[in-house]
Amino acid sequence: MLADALIWHRLQFAFTITFHYLFPVLTMGLALFIVVMKALALRTGDARWDDAARFWIRIFGINFAVGVVTGIPMEFQFGTNWARLSRYAGPVIGQTLALEGIFAFFLESSFLALLVWGEKRLSRMAHFASAVALFVGSWLSAYFIISTSAFMHHPVGYAVGPDQNLQIVDLGAVLLNPWALLQFAHNQAASVATASFVVAAVGAWYLLRNEHTDFARRCLTLGVGFGFVASLVVAFPTGDLQAKAVARHKPAALAAMEGRFESGPRAGITLIGQPNVAARRLDNPITVPGMLSFLAFGTFQGNVAGLNEFPESDWPDNIELLYYAFHIMAGLGTLMIGLMGLAALALLTRRLFTSRALLWALALAFPFPYIAVTTGWMTAELGRQPWVVYGLLRTADASSQMVHGGTALFTLIGFMGIDFLIGLAFLWLVARELSAGPSAHPHGTTAPEAAHG
Amino acid sequence: MADLWYVIVAGALTAFVLLDGYDFGAGMLHRWVARTDDERRQVIAAIGPFWDGNEVWLLAAGGALFLAFPKVLSAGLSGFYFAIFLVLWCLIGRGLAIEFRSHVADRMWRSFFDTLFMATSLLLALFFGVALANIVRGVPLSADGWFSLELFTQFRATPPVGILDWYTITVGLFAVAALAVHGGAFLALRTDGVVRDRARLAARRALSGVIVAWPLVTWATAVVRPGFFDAFAWRPLAWLFVIIALAGTVAAYAGLRNERDGLAFAGSACFVGGLLGATAACAWPALLYAVPVEANSLTTANAAAPADGLRSAFFWYLPGLLLAMGYFALLARLHREKARAGDYGSHG
């Protein structure tokens, strides 16, 4: 397998998309927070909401810049590394990707510029409108890219043309793919949860240090409020519905996610355990009996297929990783609901701002949603294997056969080096912003260049 | 329908070169036209609100190519593998340099990103010129529509060809000079004080280079790709583009001499756009010209996606572009005044 270029193509896409997505996952959720803060400023006339928004716009700007530059290579890698996929499915996924460029990227880039550079030039209402446009643009962008992904998970609206390549028959069906709607709801809720954890963590951090306390309370209130709702929505109904869809459409993936090798009713859900693929069993399992059947089919009697029902050539090709990714996501998702539930309770009973234990937990918990989101996407993409377009094109037949392993590994190593440096610079810049605090930039100076004197 | 999409792809690519081209040009000249931190912040402020949107045109063109000519996109991007990643890495470094530079008031930090901004801008202009030259010269497409090019072979423009050879590098350098004119004219228009004066000077010098090199590059093209200019015989559109390019040169020259910066910028835009238009008109119907077996070329006839999909996509792509132009107009109107000297205190 290592002699094959395929592994390097796969690793490169996995690495670059994983690193890239750490940034948009925050900015999409944060855009919502900025809209809410600016709306509160307009409604209440309280300029401190504007100050809060300005701090988060700066954090947003740094994240967005890294998101843009790490995102540019993604679209190109369809052609460079997955040329046979592009040739085969381009008439369909080319449309959704082009839609993203035309309707989302232009909107985002233009209105981010207005938001960052334009506070002094625009009226308050127009500045608020820019925030809304940016929010809409970033969520539209997510929708188009998710509808591309959804087509690859659950192809609809296409036909196989005379040259054996796909052609688009119904763009509306591709865009309204039920898989896309489910994935989008789940993903956007997770993005709001991520931003909530980050906003709440910053609030908790400042409050623990007794700095910028007014700003910190505002962040905590919004972060915990949105965080509790979003964490719940991630699990129910969106996660639950998605699991049911996987059970119905990709039973082999569900079996691998749960490390289930044998079919049968009253299937238990595994809390912990290690899949032993060679021996076809789960080692040291701790399970909740009947739960998987209930979650997948709504009845404890539901028969959940095991991997034994599928030919090995159709098994996901990394069962262990798929299993762990799914369990880490689900475990952290549960933890997030618990923590935000406690924090929301404390907020309602007016004890959150003085509870040091909870503030510490919130300040430290911000990596959870990032890990959960990453493992969630790993679950989705590993679960689709061995297909790149489910049921139509295998991953092994999709890579660029003109690009050999030495070339692909060269660029993978290059990306690792570049992304490492970007990561360092990013962390350093964000740390600086955090230590400078929300009051470091008085009215109207969101842009690094816009300061007069 | 496929020919219409050829026009759309070429048009979007030209828009990308015209728009991002001026900020490539500004980047190349950055450390030279702007010496102090205030002056450099003036340059960054002149392109700051625009560069990201300008770059989206590359994605818009890529998207159009993907949906309309998936065979060209897949063969081209995988065939030019190395060059594509060099471009992508430069785009990454350049975007970060613009965005990160002014976040930290530290001399070494800023100096590092200023140099990175300049180097990546220069390299990108070079690479895009090299890419265009590769398309004109031709690539070794096989009968099943794939090719793979090494970064360099023997630097000859004859098979076995590499991405870099004497011809493609020459065109790359020509692109550097042309975009230096364009970027210089842009900075002259959008700044004032010494930055404007130096930008005018740089643009004027680069323009003399362009005027000398243009006939030479044209001659080299005729040598490397005999028959490329035959199209002039029956495509009046190609003539029109050449006339636009010529008029642009004259306008740029006059504008730079008489300190009429708007005229100079319009002139350089006409020059770059006209030249690209003429190239696209001559290259049609081939999107990827094949050497040595011309019959393997990917053309609008054999590489297009099915017509139904193209027809329906046309009805959202064009309104989408109009919408994007609306945003650009709004942004340009809000930032219509110059980035002035002295606006930027030595520490923000």
Per-residue pLDDT of chain B (348 residues; tens, 9 = 90+): 889 999 999 999 999 999 999 999 999 999 999 999 889 999 998 888 888 888 999 999 999 999 999 999 999 999 999 999 999 999 999 999 998 988 888 889 999 999 999 999 999 999 999 999 999 999 999 999 999 888 888 888 788 888 999 999 999 999 999 999 999 999 999 998 899 999 999 999 999 999 999 999 999 999 989 888 888 888 888 999 999 999 999 999 999 998 899 999 999 999 999 999 999 999 989 999 998 888 999 999 999 999 989 998 999 998 999 999 998 888 888 877 787 776 654 333
Distance in angstroms (rounded) separating the CA atoms of residues B255 and B182: 12
Q: Do A73 and B320 touch (CB under 8 A)?
A: no
One-letter amino acid for residue A267 of the chain: A
Q: Are A319 and A259 in contact (CB under 8 A)?
A: yes
Is position B347 within any domain?
no
At residue A350, the pLDDT reads: 94
How many domains would you assign to chain B?
Answer: 1
A275 by DSSP, 3-state: which? strand
Domain holding B265, by residue range, is 2-334
Chain B: residue whose CA lies nearest to A449? B45
User: Is the minimum CB–CB distance between B237 and chain A shorter than 8 Å?
Assistant: no
**Do the chains contact at A102 and B334, CB–CB below 8 Å?**
no
Provide, as residue numbers in chain A, all residues whose Cβ is less than 8 Å from the Cβ of B40.
Answer: none
pLDDT, position B245: 93
Provide the Cα torsion B25, B29, B35, B37; round to 10°: 30
CA–CA distance, A209 with A213 (Å, rounded to integer): 9
User: Chain B: residue nearest A157 by CA?
Assistant: B309
The reply to whether B343 touches chain A by the CB within 8 Å rule is yes
- For an interface test with A, which of B13, B40, B42, B77 has the most A Cβ atoms less than 10 Å from its Cβ? B77
Within a domain: B339: no
Look at residue B343 and tell me if it is in a domain.
no
d(CA A449, CA A118): 11
A–B interface: beta-carbon pairs under 8 A: 230
**Residue A68 is nearest to which of B41, B52, B348, comparing CB atoms?**
B52
The model's pTM is 0.93
Residues of chain A with pLDDT under 70: 1-3, 440-453
In a domain, B86, yes or no: yes
DSSP state of B228: G
- Sequence-distant (6+) residues with CB within 8 A of A140 are A100, A103, A104, A107
Residue of B nearest to A72 (CA): B88
pLDDT of residue B346: 39
| Interchain pair B49, A117: CB under 8 A | yes
Contact between chains at B66 and A403 (C-beta distance less than 8 A): no
Residues 6+ away with beta carbon under 8 Å from B189 = B261, B262, B264, B265, B338
Write down the pLDDT at residue A333: 96
Tell whether the torsion through CA atoms of B138, B142, B147 and B152 is positive or negative: negative
Nearest C-alpha neighbor of A258 from the set A192, A327, A182, A210: A327
Q: Do the domain assignments include residue B94?
A: yes
Which of A65, A117, A402 has the CB atom closest to B79's CB atom?
A402
Instruction: Evaluate whether residue B309 is within a structural domain.
Output: yes
What pLDDT was estimated at residue A441?
59
For residue A453, the model assigns a pLDDT of 28
Nearest CA in chain A to B83: A80
CB contact under 8 A, A121 and B334: yes
Q: Could you tell me if B348 lies within 8 Å of chain A, comparing CB atoms?
A: yes
Rounded to whole angstroms, the Cα distance separating B328 from B325 reads 5
Would you say residue B258 lies in a domain? yes
> How many CB atoms neighbour CB B292 within 10 A?
11
CB distance from B41 to chain A under 8 Å? yes
From the CB of residue B341, how many other CB atoms can be counted at a distance below 10 Å?
18
